Amino acid sequence: MEIIDIEVDLHGQPRQQINWKNSIIEIIGWCGSGMILAAYINEFNETTELILNSGGAGGVLLICIQKKALQPILLNIAWIIGSFYKYFFY
């Protein structure tokens, strides 16, 4: 009878651990991209557009900060500021 070690895969190599923090941040970033696209493609009321644009840009901003991508960080900060400006002053 063979003892099965769950710490290794079928080839005897150590099993890779899932980094849940990175996976969750990736999912938030993808959801943010979807929110921005939804706000761009469809016509919503002003409040919904604010939520989709600023929330979506915040999700993408989170992944950009994690990856230290400076240009998209600046772009998403501007997107958030622009969303609030359009909602409150336009």
User: In the chain, how many domains are there?
Assistant: 1
Q: How confident is the model at residue 4 (pLDDT cuts 50, 70, 90)?
A: low
Percent of the chain with pLDDT over 90: 77
The residue that leads in pLDDT, 7 or 78, is: 78
Residue 2, domain member (yes or no): no
CA dist 25 and 60 (Å) reads 9
pLDDT digits (tens, 9 = 90+) for 34-69: 999 999 999 999 999 999 999 999 999 999 999 999
The pair of three-digit structure tokens given for residue 35, joined into one six-digit string: 């929110």
Q: Compute, in degrees rounded to 10, the torsion defined by CA atoms 66, 28, 19, 69.
A: -20
Residue 25 lies in a domain: no
Q: Where in the sequence is the domain holding 70, given as residue range(s)?
A: 45-90
Residue 86 lies in a domain: yes
Mean pLDDT to the nearest integer, 7-30:
82
Name which of 47, 49, 71 is nearest 60 in CA terms: 71
